[in-house]
Amino acid sequence: MKSGRWSIPATGAEIAHHDLMARAAKSSVVLLGESHDRACQHLWQMHVAASLLAHRPDIVMGFEMFPARLNPVLAEWVEGGLSEAEFIEKSEWATVWGFDAEIYLPIFRFCRAFRVPMVGLNCRRGLVSEVGKDGWDSIPADLLEGLTPACPATAQYRDYLYEVTGGAARDRVAKSGADPAFDRFVRAQQVWDRAFACRIAEIASKPDAPLVIGIIGRGHLEFRGGTPAQLDDLGIRQSMVLLPDETGQPQPKNIADAVFHLDPE
């Protein structure tokens, strides 16, 4: 596949950037995937967000990197009230995320420069482990942060998660995606999927809602098994998944609505 071009995995056809952006801008939600440690992918996310802003002046950007409790800090940053050093400190970056802040700062600067609202999509880490261990029903309502339980994972999503986490390694207890020994991991993964979806849906379901752009790890987005499925369950069915690719190879048929082929770093 040619670098600098978009392709549609469902057909293998190329699509022009302006045509895809015009189509994406008509969605309720656009989910931009990433591999967290790839600077070129974060620049790609910023460029796509800028393109969408040219079509829709009313965009909001949601970030996996931040728990929702930090929304006041994100707002203070966007409004120009914090230096970069103050923002990194007050957002608890080293604790809540920890990847190199420098590779994320361009997209944060974009939001600040254009006064694009930023919201946190994540939840407290303890909720992930608690639901993974004991299930959603074990959590008191006041500790759910307003989240609703995830809809069940499909067999296809379980198989996907199983493969991307190592597959049938010889020393692995779970022998397949369907193995009950894999349930705890799936429940935990779905807490993130559901949290991102609930935060997005809260915005996207409002009257005259803005376009919500989600900045989320690709494992929650590929093949629409994670956050997109939870959005569907919440009634937000006009979501588009866009992914970056650095391999130069054709992508699996249903991995995303469109894929942008980057030059590898």
Q: What is the CATH number of the domain that holds 226?
A: 3.40.50.11550
Rounded mean pLDDT, 219-226: 98
In a domain, 212, yes or no: yes
- For residue 3, give both structure tokens: 């670098």
Q: Is the pTM of this model over 0.85?
A: yes
Rounded mean pLDDT, 216-243: 98
Tally of domains in the chain: 1
- With 90 as the cut, is the pLDDT of residue 168 above it? no
Q: Report whether 263 contacts 44 (CB < 8 A).
A: no
**What confidence score (pLDDT) does residue 76 get?**
99
Q: Give the sheet arrangement for strand 211-217, strand by strand.
A: 13-15, 5-8, 258-261, 239-245, 29-34, 211-217, 59-67, 118-122
**What confidence score (pLDDT) does residue 10 get?**
96
- With 90 as the cut, is the pLDDT of residue 240 above it? yes
Range of the domain at 64: 27-261
Count the Cβ atoms, other than its own, within 10 Å of residue 95: 8
In a domain, 178, yes or no: yes
Three-state DSSP at 228 gives: helix
Calpha distance 216→230 (Å, rounded): 14
Rounded mean pLDDT, 106-110: 99
Q: What is the mean pLDDT of the chain?
A: 97
**What confidence score (pLDDT) does residue 178 get?**
97
- With 80 as the cut, is the pLDDT of residue 264 above it? no
Confidence of residue 97 (pLDDT cuts 50, 70, 90): very high
Q: Report whether 17 contacts 181 (CB < 8 A).
A: no
In a domain, 16, yes or no: no
Rounded mean pLDDT, 146-162: 98
Map tokens 């499909």 to a residue.
154
In a domain, 189, yes or no: yes
- With 90 as the cut, is the pLDDT of residue 170 above it? no
- With 80 as the cut, is the pLDDT of residue 265 above it? no
In a domain, 19, yes or no: no
In a domain, 21, yes or no: no
pLDDT tens track for 6-62: 999 999 999 999 999 999 999 999 999 999 999 999 999 999 999 999 999 999 999
Rounded mean pLDDT, 116-141: 98
In a domain, 3, yes or no: no
In a domain, 197, yes or no: yes
pLDDT tens track for 63-80: 999 999 999 999 999 999
